Structure 1
């Protein structure tokens, strides 16, 4: 498994401190994010999943704890939109340049608006997908938010 991805390169180029953590990715896991948390031996609220959605027809990236579901109503509200829906997997892969299960908010082909679940900011460090299935980066969530030029808001249902 390569430890360098577009995501890790974006973090390096921005001078963000991070560490890379590989785990055995299970494509058949019922909930991939929870499987990642378990494999890493971390609580699910510190292992975040990257979800691609559409708000008022525009692509957005929502980053939430792996054990929670994003509220489409809250996601739309966080960006001043009226409605939100999950992006189809094929569209998410085409837009981001990553495979589902390995989508990172860092180094995407076209950077969408990003919303981070505000509860993640309570942690000194969180895990976010590095851009490859079975590969996570651990970093300060405030640094991730800064680099992604994102906003923090309550997103979970």
Structure 2
């Protein structure tokens, strides 16, 4: 991968820099509804190593973040069991944006508007490097996955389904 130009700061990159986290910047051409298949293709990395940041809510409408492999879906039933709560569902886009401070397609778990509980698919933590949204559409950052646990106190869960 060629080194790309520096892009302007986001709340996510400010958060990472403030905590002394080493990361690489990976801007790419964003495609509406392209998802992780587009970002993995543009960056030349496996879609399994691209991590989606999904804002969900429990039955009491309490928000939470789940981090999932780009090539997997979240089993809402298994996530609810793991948390534990009665049910989990995705937030509507405007609600997710209000909680996170990020536009859909540009949501990062770092530097969210409100501190949200973070859950991470446990197999993500076994990867050598992950590519996760840097707080803007068309912009991923490459980091060591352990940072998610260290900085965000993320709890590992097992709720992945094959896409």
Tell me the TM-score normalized by structure 2: 0.90
Which of 55, 58, 81 lines up with 1:55 in the alignment?
A: 58
Do 2:93 and 2:104's aligned partners in 1 also have CA atoms closer than 8 Å?
Answer: yes
Give the secondary-structure state (helix, strand or coil) at the position aligned to 1:115.
Answer: strand
- Taking the TM superposition and a 5 Å limit, the aligned residue runs for 1:100-111 are 100-111=104-115
Structure-1 separation of matches of 2:52 and 2:104: 11
Which of 28, 40, 45 lines up with 1:42 in the alignment?
A: 45
Query: 1:116, CA displacement in angstroms?
Result: 0.7
Do 1:3 and 1:20's aligned partners in 2 also have CA atoms closer than 8 Å?
Answer: no
Which of 108, 112, 120 lines up with 1:116 in the alignment?
A: 120
Runs of 4+ in structure 1 over 2 Å off: none
Do 1:55 and 1:81's aligned partners in 2 also have CA atoms closer than 8 Å?
Answer: yes
Give the secondary-structure state (helix, strand or coil) at the position aligned to 1:69.
Answer: strand
Structure-1 separation of matches of 2:100 and 2:44: 28
Q: Aligned-residue CA RMSD in angstroms?
A: 1.3
Do 1:101 and 1:132's aligned partners in 2 also have CA atoms closer than 8 Å?
Answer: yes
Structure-2 separation of matches of 1:118 and 1:28: 26
Larger radius of gyration, structure 1 or 2? Answer: 2
2:82 matches 1:64: no
Query: 1:80, CA displacement in angstroms?
Result: 1.4
Q: Counterpart of 1:3?
A: 8
2:91 matches 1:91: no
2:20 matches 1:15: yes
Which of 28, 36, 59 lines up with 1:33 in the alignment?
A: 36
Structure-1 separation of matches of 2:86 and 2:106: 29
Tell me the TM-score normalized by structure 1: 0.94
Do 1:45 and 1:65's aligned partners in 2 also have CA atoms closer than 8 Å?
Answer: yes
Gaps in structure 2 of 5+ consecutive residues: 1-5
- Taking the TM superposition and a 5 Å limit, the aligned residue runs for 1:126-137 are 126-137=130-141
Structure-1 separation of matches of 2:127 and 2:92: 30
Aligned residues: 155
Gaps in structure 1 of 5+ consecutive residues: none
